[in-house]
Structure 1
Amino acid sequence: MKNCIVIQSGGPTAAINASLAGVIKRASEAGYDHIYGGINGIVGVLSQKVMDLTEKMAEDPDFIEKLYRTPAMYLGSCRLRLPDPNVEPAIYDALYSHFKRLDIDTFFGIGGNDSMDTVMKLASYFKKKGSSIKVIGVPKTIDNDLLYTDHTPGFGSAAKYVATTIREMAYDTMIYPVKSITIAEIMGRDSGWLTAASALARTKDLNAPQLIYLPEVLFSVKECIEDTKMLLKNRNSVLIAVSEGIRDTDGDYISASALEKDDKFGHAQLSGAGKALEHILGQALGFKIRSVELNIPQRCATHLASKTDLDEAFGLGSAAVCLAEEGKTGLMTTIQRDDSENYHVTYGSVPVYEVANGVKKVPRDFINERGNDVTEKMIDYLKPLIKGEVDMSYNDGLPEFLPVGHLTSTID
């Protein structure tokens, strides 16, 4: 028997199920007898909660197609940081026992920075143990902050949603002949890629958002007040896009509530950068002002998904299986953008230890000198990633998705 197991973990995206679809389809073609899915990430594998995805394909000939365009995570997610295998090997011994019971040949982990930490530790453990079990990572994150890949699945679709929403908000805010400020808070704790995508909302007739603030440049309250005041001299409405993780010149988060408690991976839990800026500008300028937190829709709006994004997500999942077929392990699949006028990518790989727990920042030359906007280099980088529309299936006027898999079918 040659079986494999795949998990999804971290935050959901509009494209992560497309990566899962790519893994399943290619693994089936490669002759894996059973393709298992861990329920709720590595937690499900540890508790021996899995589903047989091979059976899902047999039950529904359109399963792969439906999975490709279903948002969030079909297998469910978790946020569990595995301990160092050299310090606490017992949990890995248990995983190894479960894998042997299921005749697992390869483990595929789909996720972001923290998920690649899991992939790295499993690969290290199996190598030290002398096991032939292969471990391959498949990237995803709307934050686009994974190292050594041009961009990440999920980002293109989230960027398309952000740009579309900002454009719609701009039209909304321009209708009244009164001075007003609107602030859109966009996800991005350590990097501002997604907030930068708000610039794609602009057209030759619409210059919104007028200000964009990313975490890569320290935020000056004084300059923001000056810039907003100056803009309002010649226009009635100003739209500001701000990353949730912006910091002031002292390095402190600009947020209404920078919670003291970190998450399980040591990341600060942020809340209300937009609300905090609303208060600051309201006190300083006195104009009508409101803040909007885009929040969850940034990562689940499949009705606005980028076809480029979903196709590349599928391709990366398929490429992961190809690496395993070549006998490789401890790698993460990557996207490499060709240096040509016409957008084209190839799939590669990188040792996962070079990616895990790292953060890819927005390059400084993608941000203007004052730190309140992006440059044409950023626009050129972003544009191809949002291209193409996904053919959706509708029922009673609403998009139709697969039922949530991890709630409907498990085997112990």
Structure 2
Amino acid sequence: MSSLQIAALGECRIDSPLARLLQRRNTSQHYVDESDRVLLDDTVTMVSGRGVPVEELPSFEPGGPRQKIFFDPARTRVGIVTCGGLCPGLNNVIRALVLQLTTHYGVHRILGFRNGYQGLVPRYDHPPVELTPAYVDLIDKYGGTVLGTSRGNQDPDEIVDNLDRLGIDILFVIGGDGSMRGAVRIAEVVARRGRRIAVVGVPKTIDNDIPYIDQSFGFQTAVGQATEVIRAAHVEATAFPGGIGLVQLMGRHSGFIACYAALATHDADYVLVPEVPFALDGPDGFLAHLRRRVGDRGHAMIVVAEGAGQEHLATGPAGHDASGNQRLHDFGRYLRQRIIDEFAGAGVEASLKYIDPSYTIRGVPANPYDSVYCIRLAHAAVHAAMAGRTELVVGRWRGRFVHVPMPLVVGSRNQVDPDGDLWLSVLEATGQPPTFG
């Protein structure tokens, strides 16, 4: 499957400083040799359905250190940039990249580009900073990113001009789908000019919507924080007659945070996500069902992803942000008012508490799970870059670290499958009907 092939800048001829760690290692359930591949499919039905020999099955290049590398560490200069919205773990990735490059590969010329892709364009006047082990010490204890960030497209030709001027050999882009689209354009200009600059992505999206990756960093932390918000809202809902807790969580197009946080608390009566359409009105609509639920139990807890219910807002498209992402209407506030009107119109008492914790979650430090994951992603990114791989995103697929081509990452979106086991678990935990209306 050609779309899974990873671009390489050239033959690896330099002995890797990590080669000694790879001696006598063979592919196992915990390690994949660099000459092996990781299958895309994981069931007999999917594999047999391909109808091709084993060697022709679609597969990913495994991540990890190589015996030989492409770049000479003593002559290599690296750039690191963080782009898009904030997410727990950004500083962890920056720190791990710097420490891996310096301690294990001997690369000591590392620049941090400030304020996203703007920092790669000289006219914005955001001078880069020298990243050293001392500079990044302790930054993982804080949320946000020490490099700053921004949204918006920049001219890839201007960016590559600047990379050439600064002598950058490797550029690490830490960002989501919009950032990776920008990275693809940078890599295309690099290739068109015949330059040997590796462009490697570390996937950052709090919504967990990057495809062909089991999970993006920051997601576990976001779920943990969201869980505490749901617990608090549930306490409020149970304390008042006709109590209703309504929590809107991140999830523009993918409802993973809403699903996992609701399952973690087991307090939610309803979970509304973008992937599953629902009716608000009518005898079998959501509002009528909610009124019956409150009447039966005295309270209800609702978790809604921010991208859910956009079809119910008749105000038309909200345009796009600087990164090209479609702006969303605030469905949470709309639903809040519809619930208030529904209960008032029926003459039923209701005490509704609405909470949207999105930005308080984005800026927190990574939890222990994400801290570990950030380090391992950073290590995989450095191994790939030093081996001359380019235009790829590192991630974990079926529990294995792999290299995913950037064009594949930006070509689709990971979403909750309405026919999958996650959504089935949500329906079982909440007791809500499979459909409303």
TM-score by length of 2: 0.73
Q: Distance in 2 between matches of 1:267 and 1:78?
A: 13
Aligned partner (choices 310, 331, 335) of residue 371 of structure 2: 310
Alignment map for 1:231-310 (pairs within 5 Å) = 231-247=293-309, 252-254=311-313, 260-286=318-344, 287-302=350-365, 305-310=366-371
Q: In the alignment, which of 159, 173, 179 is matched to residue 109 of structure 1?
A: 173
Shift of 1:368: 4.9
- Work out the CA distance in 2 between the residues paired with 1:108 and 1:374: 40
Of 309, 316, 325, which aligns to 2:386? Answer: 325
The aligned length equals 343
CA distance in 1, matches of 2:249, 2:391: 33
In the TM superposition, what are the counterparts of 1:3-402 in structure 2 within 5 Å? 3-29=77-103, 30-47=105-122, 49-55=126-132, 57-58=133-134, 63-64=136-137, 66-82=138-154, 91-176=155-240, 178-202=241-265, 207-222=266-281, 223-247=285-309, 252-254=311-313, 260-286=318-344, 287-302=350-365, 305-338=366-399, 346-356=400-410, 358-364=412-418, 365-366=420-421, 368=423, 373-374=426-427
Cα distance, 1:375 vs. partner? 5.3
Distance 1:147 1:276, change over 3 A: same
SS of the residue 1:72 aligns to: coil
Structure 2 Cα separation of the partners of residues 154 and 253 of structure 1: 30
- Listed as ranges, the gaps of 5+ residues in structure 2 are 1-74, 345-349, 430-437
What per-residue deviation string (whole Å, max 9, x for no partner) do you get for residues 355-408 of structure 1? 125321111224657xx94457xxxxxxxxxxxxxxxxxxxxxxxxxxxxxxxx
CA contact (8 A) 2:177 2:410 kept: yes
Range with bigger deviation, 191-200 or 283-292: 283-292
Task: Specify whether residues 375 and 21 from structure 1 end up closer, same or farther in structure 2 by C-alpha distance, changes over 3 A only.
Answer: farther
d(CA) in 2 for partners of 1:318, 1:53 = 20
Corresponding position of 2:35:
none
Name the TM-score, length of structure 1 as normaliser. Answer: 0.78
SS in 2 for 1:108: strand
- Indicate conservation of the 8 Å contact 2:318/2:328, yes or no: no
Seen in structure 2, the aligned counterparts of structure 1 residues 308 and 103 have a Cα distance that, compared at 3 Å, is: same
Alignment check: 8 A CA contact 2:271 2:304 kept: yes
Structure 1 vs Structure 2 CA RMSD: 2.2
Q: Is the 8 A contact 1:9 1:78 kept in 2?
A: yes
Q: Hey, what's the Cα distance between the residues in 1 that align with 2:158 and 2:423?
A: 51
Identity %, equivalent residues: 24
Q: Secondary structure at the match of 1:232?
A: helix
Q: Secondary structure, in 3 states, of the residue corresponding to 1:359?
A: coil
Contact 1:181 1:237 in 2 (8 A): yes
Q: 1:185 Cα shift?
A: 1.0
Which blocks of at least 5 consecutive residues in structure 1 are unaligned?
83-90, 339-345, 377-412
* Residue 269 of structure 1, CA deviation: 2.2
Distance across 1 between alignment mates of 2:252 and 2:131: 37
